[in-house]
């Protein structure tokens, strides 16, 4: 996808510089001439989407973007605007300069602080689920932080909006979307994806916050997913001390293999 630096979108947003590049979207810093403030522009990559799927997906994108813009929760990043530039869809969101939860990982976070960061995200997900939206890609890099370290959940439905799938063919044929280390078992084997899928992913994030490790670490994405589907959860308190039994039991419930056993 060609760079948008220097372009003006919607005769309103002047793209200043790149903020990041992901597998499904590029993020730019832009100046909003109407509001006279800096914003972030999330441009969805369309290079690998077939034309027929793209044609259907653009209509769906605008419908889903409107639903996302209607979300009103203190821990969900607000969609300020949306549109297309030369047939490429984009979202306009606030610019948060304090990084993401991913930047905090690498060493274990005390459980009090970990819960303080994760519980507002759980509340945000519950709110979104009540509105019929499933996130599908809960992970540390999708939890932004404000200057006061308030967690803000972002990236709702980018793949779903353009007709993408979230499944993995374990025979190696096909592709998947998202990070396998945060995927629930049902997300890997093609079962229904719903609110419980998000809860599982959030449990992985909490586990990683507390222990500095993801529950399952292997050399290949497929073997990671097989472990998520079949292996018991490695006991967190054996990795790092000081985790209360109640928090450990929360992880066991959140990361249950069967969706119906989670909370």
Spatial separation of the C-alpha atoms in residues 136 and 182, rounded to whole Å:
10
The whole-angstrom distance between residue 29's C-alpha and the CA centroid of its chain comes to 20
- Residue reference for tokens 């369309």: 46
Contact predicate 147/14, CB 8 Å: no
Quick check: is 86 catalytic?
no
Alpha carbon separation from 198 to 124, 135, 153, 170 (Å, rounded): 11, 6, 12, 21
Residues in contact with 220: Cβ distance below 8 Å, sequence separation at least 6, in sequence order: none
Determine the length of the chain. Answer: 263
Catalytic residue, candidates 36, 86, 147, 245: 147
Spatial separation of the C-alpha atoms in residues 132 and 193, rounded to whole Å:
12
The alpha carbon dihedral of 142, 103, 223, 44 has a sign of: positive
- Residue reference for tokens 């050399």: 219
Residues in contact with 72: Cβ distance below 8 Å, sequence separation at least 6, in sequence order: none
Q: Where are the beta strands (DSSP E) in 95-209?
A: 143-145, 151-153
| Per-residue DSSP letter, 251 | H
* Catalytic residue numbers, as ranges: 147
């Amino acid at each position: 996808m060609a760079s948008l630096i220097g372009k003006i979108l919607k005769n309103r947003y002047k793209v200043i510089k790149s903020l990041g590049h992901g597998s499904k979207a590029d993020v730019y810093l832009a100046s909003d001439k109407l509001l006279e403030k800096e914003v972030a522009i999330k441009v969805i990559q369309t290079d690998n989407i077939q034309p027929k799927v793209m044609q259907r997906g653009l209509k769906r994108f605008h419908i889903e973007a409107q639903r996302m813009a209607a979300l009103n929760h203190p821990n969900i990043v607000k969609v300020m605007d949306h549109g297309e530039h030369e047939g490429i869809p984009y979202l306009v969101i606030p610019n948060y300069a304090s990084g993401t939860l991913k930047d905090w990982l690498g060493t274990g976070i005390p459980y009090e602080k970990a819960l303080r960061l994760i519980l507002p995200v759980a509340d945000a997900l519950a709110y979104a689920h009540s509105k019929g939206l499933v996130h599908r890609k809960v992970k540390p890099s999708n939890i932004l932080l404000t200057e006061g370290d308030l967690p803000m959940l972002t990236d709702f439905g980018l793949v779903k909006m353009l007709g993408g799938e979230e499944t993995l063919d374990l025979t190696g044929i096909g592709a998947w979307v998202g990070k396998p280390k945060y995927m629930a078992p049902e997300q890997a084997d093609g079962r229904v994806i719903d609110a419980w899928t998000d809860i599982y992913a959030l449990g992985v994030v909490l586990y990683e916050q507390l222990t500095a490790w993801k529950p399952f670490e292997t050399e290949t994405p497929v073997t990671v997913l097989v472990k998520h589907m079949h292996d018991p959860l490695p006991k967190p308190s054996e990795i790092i001390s000081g985790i209360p039994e109640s928090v450990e039991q929360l992880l066991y419930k959140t990361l249950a293999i069967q969706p119906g056993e989670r909370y």
